[in-house]
Amino acid sequence: MSIETQKLRVVFMGMDGVFSAIPMQYLLAHGVQVCAVVTPGSAPEESALLLSVNAHPPSIVAQAAAAGLPVIYVKHLRGTPVIARLAALAPDVILVACFSLILPAELLQAPRLGCFNLHPSLLPGYRGPAPLFWQWRLGEEQTGVTLHRMTPAVDAGEVVAQAGVPLPDGSSGLQADALIAQAGAALMLQTLTRLVQGPLSVRPQDEARSTYFPWPSDSDFKLSPTWSARRAFNFMRGTAAWGYPYRLTGPGATLWLQTALDFDLQQQLDRPLLRTGREALIQFAPGVLRATVLW
């Protein structure tokens, strides 16, 4: 990283979780001058902060404490006092990775070089608050990460950089977040370097190809026997942390599944379902899924 890049004043906005923690850790390790961290909510109790210090990687709040950086807790981003406090930091850049509040236009205009958001999909596909969920649900075997310039329209700003990220079979949500965050962190650092060299080369998103998905509901955890066993397995493994049972309606029966154990794309049963206690073999198209059954 160049000396000029290290002089950029960066405000980092994020939340608990690896999708925020990994990029911030990467930026600090490469000498980026993070002047403040912004996160939703209220300051945690000391005991909670100690737990987050021991996490791997530590939360952005714990990283800020270790580096002596101010943390700004916000319950909203509306109104002059909040905007004025952030603008007073005189940031050159605002970097965002997993942040639950929409940035108002006044804040988007505050940094000299712009606001940039890290999104876990290859935009313009899979806009919205839970893109990984829908990529698993629709059977994607590769995801990606996009760094885009932020605008008042959510996830719709110009693309600055993108990288494809394979989704290994059986990945948990945490594992996938970590893989995508690592790729995204590199895009952030590369973009800071490009910013000091001159205007960014960007491209607008193709609205004709854009897709948007909402926050999932319990009905979105249903499976279909027309899926492949791999798709069912990866969807269940990737979204297991949500804690919902998976409903599968097949010929003559409805099953509520809990945990995907493994799959075999070559296996063919002589019936739709073989059940032994709380374990079941289920025929998909193609392949067989082995899973535990709730009821």
For the chain, the average pLDDT equals 93
Give pLDDT tens digits for 51-84.
555 667 999 999 999 999 999 999 988 876 888 8
Alpha-carbon dihedral of residues 218, 220, 221, 226, nearest 10 degrees? 150
Contacts of 48 (CB under 8 A, 6+ apart): none
Helix (H, G, I), strand (E, B) or coil at 77: coil
Q: What are the Cα distances from residue 236, in Å, to 17, 132, 150, 205? A: 20, 12, 32, 31
Instruction: Give the residue from 117, 132, 129, 197 showing the smallest Cα distance to 162.
Output: 117
The per-residue pLDDT for 102 is 92
pTM: 0.93
What is the distance between the alpha carbons of residues 22 and 183, in angstroms, rounded to a whole number? 10
The per-residue pLDDT for 231 is 98
What is the distance between the alpha carbons of residues 246 and 236, in angstroms, rounded to a whole number? 8
The per-residue pLDDT for 4 is 66
Peptide bond into 57 cis (omega under 30): yes
The per-residue pLDDT for 35 is 96
Question: Average pLDDT for residues 141-160, to the nearest whole number?
Answer: 96
The per-residue pLDDT for 47 is 47
> With 0-12 CB in 10 A as exposed, 13-18 as middle and 19+ as buried, what is 67?
exposed
The per-residue pLDDT for 19 is 98
- Burial string for 19-34 (b: 16+ CB within 10 Å, else e) reads bbbbbbbbbbebebbb
What is the distance between the alpha carbons of residues 243 and 239, in angstroms, rounded to a whole number? 8
What is the distance between the alpha carbons of residues 201 and 194, in angstroms, rounded to a whole number? 9
Contact of 39 with 9, CB cutoff 8 Å: no
Is pLDDT at 9 greater than 90 in this prediction?
A: yes
Contact of 257 with 248, CB cutoff 8 Å: yes
pLDDT tier, 267 (very low <50, low <70, confident <90, very high otherwise): very high
Question: Average pLDDT for residues 190-196, to the nearest whole number?
Answer: 96
Instruction: Give the residue from 178, 172, 177, 293 showing the smallest Cα distance to 242.
Output: 172
